[in-house]
Chains A and B, each alone.
Chain A
């Protein structure tokens, strides 16, 4: 659905995006992560034809950036970093204007549909200037979807929202994903990316990596399983470490943290060994590194900490 090849953008001497080669599949939620100034917004602006690339090429829904710009604008919706609504106009008037600009056939019907979907129908006549940030953000999402675009670019959709509003927006993103739309999601909220995205690209001027959140974890940390025992000692750990399929073993108080390639196959054998050795196995779980650890490792900041960031599933 989105394809780029060596897409590059320079502002004077500064390179904002360097040789970005990327494929976003139809119907997926693609998370685009990176620190501030990594080139995420510049990439979105190039893909939505707001600015032109310095080099390279890109297509969106088979239309080529720089050649079919109007066609791209017709089939894409964008939620910009700031909602950018007309404060002196009502919510309904704001959407009506954009529906006309997007050449929507049933302007009234589409405006009503999205105002109802996002829970703003009762406030349709109110001036947007009186709306809370969350309401403005919801209205901006309505605007991005009015013309039923095939590709939706969302730049920080839950930024600055309270937990309730953020959850509503996330639920709505899942809803539009279920409709088969392709979603390009720029976010700093790694938990959100973890929950919503099928695949994640990490960017820092250049694209560092693209994969599913699970594979990224595996790629960086491998798979680890934690065995909670009533009592554990180093002698028992040494016996476990000697097993050929155990790649890594570590004791943290009464817990063994073991690196395994295939926990589904090897966990039963490990439990048997521990029980035969007289240990009481209280609980077994996979150590799940947060996406934050993965992200920080990828962008070159300090990541990790088995003990501090891990959680179990």
Chain B
């Protein structure tokens, strides 16, 4: 364990000196927290949102006896809460890309691998260094969102639906699972490229399914509910298991030294 934390300490000391990484870790949570809060603020300002009957049937069903204005607010907030699913993906991928490719370009891997550290310790250390800031930033942002939403929302019923346990489960469970997938994909992509931006962009392809859900929800084709979240979590566990297996196979000392150019 001490070696794992040495790697985490080293990664954080180095990677947070990179302005792009720092910008991603700081700016993205602020933006992704502000957007749903803005929706909550607009919804709470008693502005007339019009007739709720124009909304997709799935929303009307979800809104139940909420007023038109509250239903609109709930719909908008639900759209933007999906951003909390992107955050644990984007932040770790950015950190992991710079950490692994950076190690290659500065040729620091060879002396590192010559120490008594095991491959598992090195991999876990690097993964944790990328995972922890992403997950913590997500949880912190969601916490801030929950507190501010609690202050802003006047309707107890609307507040209960916004801070649905589904979202808490999604942020608490699905977030780390998505982050782990992102890290493993970055690890594999990093073994083939020498520019961290390429690794980052390739790994960001993982966001596409999330964007798909985001737009499907806006179009009223799909409703993100507890069942969808549970299904997503199960799928992510399976995907993560496969990716971890592949990632460990890719990360062989000899392969790294002789083929990672």
Contact = CB atoms under 8 A, between A and B. Distances in A.
Contact of B115 (A85, A86, A89, A98): A98
A103 B6 CA distance: 11
B6 A100 contact: yes
Given A51-B258, A84-B110, A101-B115, A89 B13 contact: yes
B205 to A, nearest CB: 28
Contact of A86 (B2, B108, B113, B253): B108
A5 B18 CA distance: 47
A103 B2 CA distance: 9
Interface residues of B, number: 26
Interface string A68-95: 0010011010101010111111000100
Given A51-B253, A87-B106, A78 B111 contact: yes
Nearest to A155: B110
A52 interface: yes
A50 B110 contact: yes
A80 B113 CA distance: 11
A86 B13 CA distance: 10
A199 to B, nearest CB: 24
A52 B254 contact: yes
A133 interface: no
A49 to B, nearest CB: 8
B107 A82 contact: yes
A140 B110 CA distance: 12
A201 B111 CA distance: 24
Nearest to A153: B114
Given A50-B114, A51-B253, A100 B2 contact: yes
B106 A86 contact: yes
Nearest to B256: A50
Contacts of B253: 50-51
Interface string B227-240: 00000000000000
A88 B14 CA distance: 6
A51 B113 CA distance: 10
Given A82-B107, A97-B9, A103-B116, 17 more contacts: A45-B257, A49-B114, A50-B254, A50-B257, A51-B257, A52-B254, A73-B114, A73-B115, A80-B110, A84-B109, A86-B10, A86-B14, A89-B14, A93-B13, A100-B3, A100-B6, A101-B112
23 contacts: A11-B258, A50-B113, A50-B253, A50-B254, A70-B116, A73-B114, A78-B114, A84-B108, A84-B109, A84-B111, A86-B10, A86-B14, A86-B108, A88-B17, A88-B18, A89-B14, A97-B9, A100-B2, A100-B3, A101-B6, A102-B115, A103-B116, A140-B111
Interface of A: 11, 45, 48-52, 70, 73-74, 76, 78, 80, 82, 84-89, 93, 97-98, 100-103, 140, 143
Interface of B: 2-3, 6, 9-10, 13-14, 17-18, 106-118, 253-254, 257-258
